[in-house]
Structure 1
């Protein structure tokens, strides 16, 4: 009975903290229906509703909040104790959750993980690809990756990549027979391939700079994506001008499949940083990851 109760309580804590059966099921590695059944069985056994469910969200009831405050820290202590045992054994251990956009995850985070994980089998990493400005504390995420200028001042930050440049590019087939833009404002006369950000559901405003003058342009076109991979594909296929990190389009520029425009309006800017709460004591596993990511150029 005790083992069953512990398993059910652990499931409840995961759902209450995630605010979602789907998210919690992913974290626990179980199916969403099985997790829902486990929590319902716990509620039936205790004779009280612990979670308020709607079609869009899950939140703890008053009883659920009291139970979460009572048992949640205990599970954290148990997990920390297990990690400590692994560290006594001389091997960093534990699960690290990191949020990053698709470009940072592919070009910076994954190369570091590819190097460090084989030699550290007790370290587990969950990567959440997200273009939003995620509140890592509220979401229970250990760290995030953002451009240097967007890291909150109350966070610790470690530089993990060199300065970056953006590039406005288009296929020669798109530019054939029409004048290319000479100033950012000229983009309003072109078909541009947009990126939709989850923050407020808005479209990304293209940002340019030249001679100390900053310009932001809201562009229009036939296509909007929420992933940069498809934006690049659409640009290569001649559907308009795209605005992407230079390293992502460099191969197309080198082989002539893409042509750069507004080059002098795209100066370098601060590259990616890993950020995390200053109030948290980094675990040995987290320190291993930070050192693998740290930029030493």
Structure 2
């Protein structure tokens, strides 16, 4: 295989993953027009259409998906081999690409990433904040940060946050209008706020009784996909909310919020950084993991 053919295959895999000539060109360090020209030449040499183009998007065809499935593992192996050479360098350097949920970005990265960047000026960190679950392998991420229950079993998962608990809370003004629930079934008679997941479903309230887990889908007058809006509705006294205990601990302590159904709200594993099982992780990623665990 000639060097230009390998370059074109790498370019094709980047376009197929990014679904954009502009983003792929930026990652490859070339112009979008040069990249488009290279893809047309590759399709001409192979005599098959690999990419379906519109004025707004680009995506691999069925033949392109087949080629991507074939070449991506080989390209990833080459990248791993090159990355492993960093073990013989004195300095930690390179790029780490992360995907993280909004909560992970606000509670872990916001606190610890700035100090890591100051300590490792040769490391470039790219963070994509989104609440959908990403396939970190196919989308080209080195690692992700999500709640432990969201991490695939075949990933290496390292805790980077404490054990958490979600609690059910309301204001004293709310409980003047509604009696506090004594058991989970009483929630059907209460007004609650709900969180809309990307799937379209309303996030259930996960409770536990005598070791048996069950979900409550509350009666929601207000539904949003933004935590700040939901919290504002709860703090106004309009409804009950299901929020992280650490976010409302001070308000519970001073009586601004009242916690109910405490016995049914149990701890769960918190945020974990996860990455594919590889014999050698890049030094920059290992250094970042160490920083986030501290």
Decide whether the 8 Å contact of 2:154 with 2:276 is kept in 1: yes
Q: SS at 1:239's partner residue?
A: coil
Query: What aligned pairs does 1:22-41 form with structure 2 within 5 A after superposition?
Result: 24=23, 28=27, 35=32, 37-41=33-37
- How far apart, in 1, do the equivalents of 2:243 and 2:226 lie? 11
Once the two structures are TM-superposed, the CA of residue 231 in structure 1 deviates from its matched residue by 2.0
In structure 2, the partner of 1:140 is 140
**Residue 96 (structure 2) pairs with residue 96 (structure 1):** yes
Q: 1:197-217: per-residue Cα shift (whole Å, max 9, x none)? A: 22x432211111233243310
**1:206 and 2:202 matched:** no
**1:74-127 CA-partner distances (Å, limit 9, x unpaired):** 69847964x677765522122222223222221123322122110101222222
Distance 1:72 1:161, change over 3 A: closer
> Within the alignment, does 1:192 sit opposite 2:192 as a pair?
yes
Is 1:265 the counterpart of 2:261? The answer is: no
The equivalent of 2:229 in structure 1 is 230
Matched length: 287
Closer/same/farther in 2, CA of residues 91 and 78 from structure 1, 3 Å limit: same
Match of 2:106 in 1: 106
- Contact kept in structure 2, 1:11 and 1:38, CA below 8 Å: no
Counterpart position of 2:128: 128
**Would the aligned equivalents of 1:193 and 1:242 in 2 still touch at CA under 8 Å?**
yes
Question: Structure 1, residues 221-241: CA drift from partner, whole Å, max 9, x if none?
Answer: 232222323322232233322
Relative to the length of structure 1, the TM-score reads 0.78
Q: TM-score under structure 2 normalisation?
A: 0.78
Q: CA deviation at 1:184?
A: 1.7
More off after superposition, 70-79 vs 249-258: 70-79
Structure 2: runs of 5+ lacking an equivalent? none
Q: Which runs of 5+ in 1 are unaligned?
A: none
Most deviating of 208-217 and 249-258: 249-258
CA distance in structure 2 between the partners assigned to 1:66 and 1:257 by the alignment:
59
- Per the alignment, residue 60 of structure 2 pairs with 59
1:140-192 CA-partner distances (Å, limit 9, x unpaired): 22222233344333221222222211111223333332112222222222222
In 2, Cα distance between equivalents of 1:65 and 1:257: 58
Matches of 2:224 and 2:57 in 1, distance apart?
24
